[in-house]
Amino acid sequence: MLAAFAREELGRYRILRRLWQRTIAGESFSVKQICKRCEDHVEKQREGMFSVVQRADNSTVLGQLIQARIRAVPGSPERKKADERLEKITESQIKRTPEARHRSRMKALYVEPLETGWNRPAETSEPAARDFLTDAINEYSIQQQAYVHPDLGDPVFHAALEEWLDRPELQPATSLHKFN
């Protein structure tokens, strides 16, 4: 649940950063407009999505497609066909992931009745939780690195951060291995 909220906050960061960039260009926003822009949970999950992860067993269609792409010679018709099919799958994943992450957050937060019984957050499988946490840590790490290394990002943004005297210090991403 906390990892899902953290991803939403990464999304809020991107939304607020874009609004900040627009203020630099001369626009202004009311507090109400800013709050309205940051209230949709699925939109924040979408904005907090920096990558697409594809995990698949080799016995699945996706797993076989990934293996076919790996084995194909770069530039070959087989490789191009595999790339096209993977691109379609990736586009579909990008569309459905924010809503799926929001549903995962809700499942991790609430005990509630379902048509098939009860949702119990404690029943989330360890592999599913580990994958969710690993992916969240990786996405945070990408943004944390851009935040602390001015050469990786927007120099205007970094100059503004330098002027912010009491800005918080971001903690480095922590591997799940430290929690075992």
- Over the Cα atoms of the chain, what is R_g? 20
176: confidence class by pLDDT, cuts 50, 70, 90: low
CA 180/CA 175 separation, integer angstroms: 10
Show the tokens assigned to 29: 């926003």
pLDDT for 58 equals 92
Q: Residue 112: is its pLDDT beyond 80?
A: yes
CA 109/CA 3 separation, integer angstroms: 11
Q: What is the pLDDT of residues 23-71, one digit of tens each?
A: 999 999 999 999 999 999 999 999 999 889 999 999 999 999 999 999 9
Q: Report the length, in residues, of the chain.
A: 180
CA 78/CA 111 separation, integer angstroms: 48
**pLDDT, mean of residues 151-158:** 81
